[in-house]
Amino acid sequence: MDLGTFNGPSDNANEGRRHSLANRANESANLIAAGDTQGAIDKLNSLLSKIDGQSPPPDWMADSPEKSALAQEVALLISLLELELQLGQPGIHEEAVRSR
């Protein structure tokens, strides 16, 4: 994502925010791959709290179509992972990944 979509006080701060969000997404993917669905949900919720338009905590991105799209995608992934937990069917995500 372009640094201009972030609302930090400087480009350096915006780079840090962008990297932190990317790291949270990567950590979530690793947790899913390791079978830790709840851990992935927790990590994604942490990411979502920085882009959901609600405060606290304050968002790290300025209001934009990119922020809205990212927040919607993260919220959908959280919902799907929660559904997986409710159904007691770990591994659904593996089928989705293989079908790509």
Domain ranges (residues) in the chain: 3-98
With a CB cutoff of 8 Å and minimum separation 6, the contacts of 1 are 18, 61, 66, 70
Nearest Cα residue to 58 out of 6, 2, 11: 6
Token pair, residue 59, equals 């968002």
Q: In this predicted model, what pLDDT tens digit does every residue of 20-76 receive, in sequence order?
A: 999 999 999 999 999 999 999 999 999 999 999 998 999 999 999 999 999 999 999
pTM confidence score: 0.84
Q: Is the pLDDT of residue 100 over 70?
A: no
